[in-house]
Structure 1
């Protein structure tokens, strides 16, 4: 039986998310994000846009048997995989839902997180308003987002490197520079900003970078749309694989706290 194109796309997306999580920058920021949430046994924690459930087991271990973990995603394929990965953690519940209208009661959550989700949403402000609604006073929200406008790739043809970044910002990622906005968005949503951290995700190996950036696929889309010249773009890709490699972008994490009293 041949898998459908939609099944193949879902499998490819799950592979991509797993590769990003397993990369050194991915492991590092995920550990930082988990620590910043300050999870305790018995907490109820929400993972908005949980994807294939990559982080649900770690959240479950942190809140223990007396806690609860709720993973929400809108993609049926992701939900199926998340449920499969959580079968040994009875405190985990995976639910279909929209980040813009969370299927949860007011002030019902102790901790919440979004990990590389806001960059894709139609209305990040509404998603943060929903987090503000469902998280209890004194509760914490952890956000993690790249800032693709900071992407730099070294190549002899620096003009095409800049064109590649411009194409990602203008055509590939909906909210490409949201990483730098996290503090302002938290404040506007009524959170107290507890911390904002910026780290550089740097790659010295082409293949490791390609697991995250998917450069051949993106470049092909760019020349097909007319954003880059095909011959020039092909030569640029070849140059990346034939010499010393360096690519980097800035990754932001922010922690917001729900005020315990109304201001």
Structure 2
């Protein structure tokens, strides 16, 4: 058996762009953007904008009289975001942590946070920053997965369950934030208007390995003694032989200030 499993950790920007371009990614992003109801002349904020995946769509909706602000703390991500939006007027890229948004209080009409809160140190503090930045009547769109709902079909069901437990306890900082997203938004002082739940489906093993980190995370679980080595290798080999199925729950919340 091979000493390591699956693909190496992908370039983060390429990973985000590929996820956004997938069928499931396009569907939920379009739905949240439509519900956000961005209008001409508004100021729209994308917290954790990454390589600028969603900035062009926001810029199209605010028009020439509006402003789009993309915030991220990673200089490499910001460089790609600037390159991606270099021909777009009214797009501003700012380097900062989500816990200290570089935005004047009460100046944002529309805001979005997409799969970022699961990684930050204090999600509640980030939402408090967002409330400070937004105007009364502003709309906010949030999207986060619930990795506790990750299911991977395999004959060895217990190892699939062990993989999910490893993901939720060791891989993602706030792995179950999706289920608490509406509650956190209300606690931050927002009025929750819409709660959505979608279940992205993976039928292609290679795509799932890239997106879900099946191999690399199983290898880490084996190295940590969380899963028996031979059992983990057999599990991964069985997945690669197909047919394949995996899914998880992605929660979207749209709220107002």
TM-score bracket for this pair, using the shorter chain length: over 0.9
Cα shift at 1:205: 1.6
Which protein, 1 or 2, shows the higher relative CO under an 8 Å CA cutoff with sep ≥ 6? Answer: 2
Cα shift at 1:31: 0.5
Work out the CA distance in 1 between the residues paired with 2:255 and 2:32: 12
Note the alpha carbon deviations across 1:75-100, whole angstroms, 9 max, x for none. 01001100000001021100001111
SS in 1 for 2:199: strand
Structure-2 residue corresponding to 1:29:
28
Structure-1 residue corresponding to 2:57:
58
Q: Where does structure 1 differ by over 2 angstroms across 4 or more consecutive aligned residues?
A: none
Work out the CA distance in 2 between the residues paired with 1:227 and 1:50: 34
CA RMSD in angstroms comes to: 1.2
Work out the CA distance in 2 between the residues paired with 1:254 and 1:208: 27
TM-score normalised by structure 1 residue count: 0.93
- 210-219 or 148-157, which deviates more: 210-219
Structure-2 residue corresponding to 1:181:
180
Question: Does the 8 A contact of 1:20 with 1:211 survive in 2?
Answer: no
Work out the CA distance in 2 between the residues paired with 1:235 and 1:49: 37
Aligned pairs, how many? 250
Q: Where in structure 2 are there 5+ consecutive unaligned residues? A: 1-7
Work out the CA distance in 2 between the residues paired with 1:49 and 1:243: 35
Note the alpha carbon deviations across 1:161-213, whole angstroms, 9 max, x for none. 00000000000000000001011001100000011011111112212222310
- 192-201 or 222-231, which deviates more: 222-231
Cα shift at 1:244: 1.3
Structure-1 residue corresponding to 2:82:
83
Work out the CA distance in 1 between the residues paired with 2:28 and 2:15: 17
Note the alpha carbon deviations across 1:8-49, whole angstroms, 9 max, x for none. 97x711111111111111111111111011011101000000
* 1:125 is the counterpart of 2:124: yes
